[in-house]
Structure 1
Amino acid sequence: MRILLIVLLCNSFLVTAQQIPEFQLMRYDEDYSGLEKDTVRDWYHRLKYKKIGKNAYISFGGDFRTQYLIMDNENWNPDTQDNDGFMLTRWLFHADLHLSEKIRVYGELQSALANSREVLVPVEENPLKLHQLFMDYKPFQETPLTFRLGRQEVSYGSTRLISLRDAPNTRRSFDGVKVLFSEGNIKTDIFYLHAVVDKTGIFDDASSPDLRLWGAFSDITTAKKELHFNFYFLGFYNKNALFYDGAGTEKRYTIASRVFKNSGTWWYDLEGGYQFGTIGSRRISAWSIALATSYRFTSIKYTPEIGLKADLISGDKDNTDKTQQTLNTMFGPGAYFGMAAPLAPSNLMDIHPDLKLRFSEKITLSCDYAFLWRYSRGEGIYRPNMVPFFEHNDASSRYIGSQISGVFFYKANKHLSLLTGLSWFNTGEYLREVSPGKNITFGFASAQLKF
């Protein structure tokens, strides 16, 4: 019944929303001011653009996602067996108020629920929260400069270090200030933020001075917009950091750059970074290199696209010395290597061949096969929140295991998308040394509606 309701609503949207701009991952990036001169005046256009003054208008929108998930041997342990699976649902509803050409206020509520989940965690269960509430101020008419103050989503670059954390259930936000500059092919953000700590109650989330992020990010494109160059400088503070070689106050700095091309038949993405700073009395010296590339065969049936991803990510060599080589992904996506085995990209070597087939404009099949090793035998693996996965690390093997996955994606129209997928994780020698080492089987079905 719920899926039928979604389909009916979506068909209604489709009839009335032919000229509406495309939805963005960051919904505050959407601009509906062009609808002022649109001759269509149905209920959906009024929802997206309602003039309330000479230079003022308000826009409403939202996002509903429901997922059914089932997993055998979660975290490679049969004791966590969930025989009938569980449901994750998430509502997002926003209002975008433009008071003038200089002042804008954006607010968003989020509700994330984990039904039939035996152990509730905030990343899956957060019944109601003020997810975003910020004000934009543009002080100069001729200078493309914006000051943003308040609670906001943040995502940069490849999202390995700073992401929305969209996949698990509860999206991430920060409290703070940001300065945005955008002119021509150059976009630069400078920011100082406190992470909002998610909790499982209602309106009980608050930003923490113990978990901070600051820095600058620039995106520069070539004249034809074929190549993008990203440059990062990030500062990170965690008062209560925990690694395999102990706890401590972490002050970490990241310098990174990225070049990528995402148009045409050949696509590639190369990123590298270095981290330094301190954790207690230990010195940080960590690094990572990531490569992703793919080629699309446009003259072959189903337009097959063959790709390859690979990462080299440093880990700590010796937990008794004064140097920490563990790369910290800070605010990573939560499902970087897939939902069956949620690992942080830290102390890892991996290689992922993948294949994508387009059966039509609406139906896509994606498959990949990931092979994972520890970079350093001196350290274990980490959860996405950078907490050690296992209490001890006395294993000798590097090989973590492999994961094969397949996902069907159906985009009914711009509002409705359906996904279903299956993953199987085959444990390697390392996991059999430090855990029960059972293979993981994971399946899901998901529907998402945007308006």
Structure 2
Amino acid sequence: MRQLFSNRTALYPAIILTGLTACAATAHAASNGDPLHVETTTPQRSLLDRIMHTAPGGCPPTPKDDPATYSPYGVFARGDGSETGFGPESQYGIPAGMEGTRRVKSACDKDDPFDAYKHMKLNDSGSIWLSLAGETKIRNWYDQHPVFGALTPPGDVGGIGGEKRRNHSGRFGVRNLWSADLHLGEHVRFFGQLINADAGGWRPYGYDGTFRKNIDAQQAFVEFSANLLGGHSGFIFGRQQFLDAPDYMIGNRDVLNVPLSWNGFRVYQIWKRVRIDAFDFVKTKDQHPVGAPQAFRDTEDYTTRLYGVNVTIAPPDFSFMGEKGYSFLNLFYYGYKLAGGAAQSTVMSEPSAWGSTTRNNFGLRWHGEAGPISFSFGGVYQQGIFHQQNMSAFNGRNIVHYDDKHRNVNAFAINSTVDYHFRHVMWHPSFGFQTDIYSGGGDRGSTSATNTYIEPFGVNTNYLDPTNYLTGSNLINFAPKIGFSPTKYLQIQFKYPFYWRYSHHDDTYSIYGRNVFGNQINNPEGDHGFYVGMAPQAEVALKLGPHLTWDQHVVRFMTSHNMHRVGAQNATYYQSDLTLTY
């Protein structure tokens, strides 16, 4: 418990800021000559009520009209705004640091104490301005049998591997993000973001630099933009998040405690119905030795790279079933370079072998809305090479020697989602299904091609598997789902996915790598079938106010008889996220 509360002061800045913003808001109003509202027809609300109130207010991301008519991003701001290339919209706009220089401040609630720190003018004309923002997230997990009771892989953090994770694990994490966004006119912008995170609980597992961090620089970049070539151009350089990809391929790793960040540059060009984005990054090195909590320790991890180009086309609008429709077509190339566990776990039956891999991803995605139907169809061909180094290593049982060799990679993924929305019916129900196919096989060979697809940067709670016991490698998923919204502040979704292995010559994989059991499921001496299991689940998102949300996930994973034969167990999983944005 000492470890759990060792950094409990991380919450103090958020609490202090909450208390001080009311005074700051009043001072800000007085400095501009605005009268203080002493007598009003509506009773004054307390500070707590202002923070928690559910009445219309805050800083809504957009009006109800079509964003194509007013947004600087035009048609690309439709939907959740992710096609702008800077992440989906939220209550206070898109994720911190992903806001463009041309974005216009929306109308805000003057009773909101945090609004005093948004878009603060630093000169008379308002061309120079500063916005401050923060986020505090408190997260709890419960795992009945973590990763189905799989053994820890060789070289796992805290041991040599081959041990079983402790059952009935309860994990707790807290994270703070503080950001400052300075705009120097219309074309120059500086953005900085600090992070602090800690984790504890009972019988925890998997804690490393993605859960615990002393104060460090999460993002720090400069952006230059201008109107060029008949459109809007931009160049961003420094440490930054990157979300210009399908969410099942690249995410911000928010499911863990420390988000993913990158170092390098990206350049974008936006026209009326075409957008181009090119980038070259190295990952932030956020893994440090245990017992090394020094501040500002993150550097660059040159063994992990992400680079490529994305072209997004917005075809002409259309009508379907008497309603308007629109769509986007993404054509992309993403390149990965990886070393260590992420590179070798899907290639080597003995995952302690050291190696590196290059993966070239060529793909497309077509998604949008056709009247009451929302849809997404995508496919990726993954080609590359795996290089195994000449070395001897301990695999948890004995010393194994590995020769220097290369293996080609030929893999693919197919992803689709379709939902039908009853927008004019009480509670606004929707129903649909999700289908995913991730290739696998060839992991037991030594010279033949490997066919196991990997998604090393696609950790996403809301897409494939909330437990993260399964990930997009050697997997087939079919998931019927239904959702509804009893009020505008409450959303509920039920999902019932079924999982199979794509190849019976390959294993199942989690975010921690290959799932290792006492008797491997890909053992050629026994036929363990393709069926993995099913995982009925529920997700509840409650908006407690313009700044406070509470998301909950509960999953009951029922593994197949064949999985039980190799040592896997059924599992119950629960996750709770309480997020305060300010």
Q: Same fold (TM over 0.5)?
A: yes
Further displaced range: 11-20 or 418-427? 11-20
Amino acid at match of 2:548: L
Compared with structure 1, are the counterparts of its residues 42 and 52 closer, same or farther at alpha carbon in structure 2 (3 Å cutoff)?
Answer: farther
State which of 550, 556, 560 in structure 2 corresponds to 1:418.
Answer: 550
Alignment match, 2:8: none
Alignment match, 1:370: 497
Alignment match, 1:50: 120
Compared with structure 1, are the counterparts of its residues 262 and 157 closer, same or farther at alpha carbon in structure 2 (3 Å cutoff)?
Answer: farther
Check whether the contact 2:51–2:546 (CA below 8 A) recurs between aligned residues: no
Amino acid at match of 1:28: G
> Which runs of no fewer than 5 residues in structure 1 stay unpaired?
none
Residue 215 of structure 1: CA displacement?
Answer: 0.5
Check whether the contact 1:372–1:402 (CA below 8 A) recurs between aligned residues: yes
Alignment match, 1:91: 176
Residue 28 of structure 1: CA displacement?
Answer: 2.4
Alignment match, 1:28: 97
Alignment match, 2:27: none
**Residue 221, structure 1, aligned to residue 321, structure 2:** no
Which residues in structure 2 correspond to 1:83-122 (within 5 Å)? 83=168, 85-116=170-201, 118-119=204-205, 120-122=207-209
**Residue 440, structure 1, aligned to residue 440, structure 2:** no
Alignment match, 1:254: 361
State which of 381, 404, 417 in structure 2 corresponds to 1:274.
Answer: 381
Give 1 or 2: higher strand fraction.
1
**Residue 355, structure 1, aligned to residue 394, structure 2:** no
Alignment match, 2:156: none
Further displaced range: 392-401 or 368-377? 392-401
Check whether the contact 1:229–1:259 (CA below 8 A) recurs between aligned residues: yes
Alignment match, 1:210: 303
> Which runs of no fewer than 5 residues in structure 2 stay unpaired?
1-10, 19-45, 62-90, 151-163, 318-324, 349-353, 388-405
Which residues in structure 2 correspond to 1:235-314 (within 5 Å)? 235-240=335-340, 241-246=343-348, 247-262=354-369, 264-280=371-387, 281-314=406-439
Give the whole-Å Cα distance in 1 for the aligned partners of 2:561 and 2:580.
42
Give the whole-Å Cα distance in 1 for the aligned partners of 2:410 and 2:148.
31
State which of 317, 320, 330 in structure 1 corresponds to 2:456.
Answer: 330
Check whether the contact 2:279–2:309 (CA below 8 A) recurs between aligned residues: yes
Check whether the contact 2:468–2:511 (CA below 8 A) recurs between aligned residues: no
Check whether the contact 1:372–1:399 (CA below 8 A) recurs between aligned residues: yes
Provide the secondary structure at the position in 1 that maps to 2:440: coil
Q: CA RMSD in A?
A: 3.0
**Residue 401, structure 1, aligned to residue 533, structure 2:** yes
Compared with structure 1, are the counterparts of its residues 116 and 249 closer, same or farther at alpha carbon in structure 2 (3 Å cutoff)?
Answer: same
Give the number of equivalent residue pairs: 447
Question: Whose radius of gyration is greater, 1 or 2?
Answer: 2
Further displaced range: 279-288 or 32-41? 32-41
**Residue 65, structure 1, aligned to residue 65, structure 2:** no
Give the whole-Å Cα distance in 2 for the aligned partners of 1:111 and 1:148.
24
Check whether the contact 1:397–1:429 (CA below 8 A) recurs between aligned residues: no
Amino acid at match of 2:144: D
Compared with structure 1, are the counterparts of its residues 179 and 228 closer, same or farther at alpha carbon in structure 2 (3 Å cutoff)?
Answer: same
Residue 11 of structure 1: CA displacement?
Answer: 2.3
Give the whole-Å Cα distance in 1 for the aligned partners of 2:544 and 2:182.
30
Alignment match, 1:11: 50
Compared with structure 1, are the counterparts of its residues 18 and 401 closer, same or farther at alpha carbon in structure 2 (3 Å cutoff)?
Answer: closer
Alignment match, 2:247: 159
**Residue 193, structure 1, aligned to residue 300, structure 2:** no
Provide the secondary structure at the position in 1 that maps to 2:505: coil
Give the whole-Å Cα distance in 2 for the aligned partners of 1:220 and 1:33.
21
Alignment match, 2:236: 148
Give the whole-Å Cα distance in 2 for the aligned partners of 1:38 and 1:360.
22
Compared with structure 1, are the counterparts of its residues 24 and 390 closer, same or farther at alpha carbon in structure 2 (3 Å cutoff)?
Answer: farther
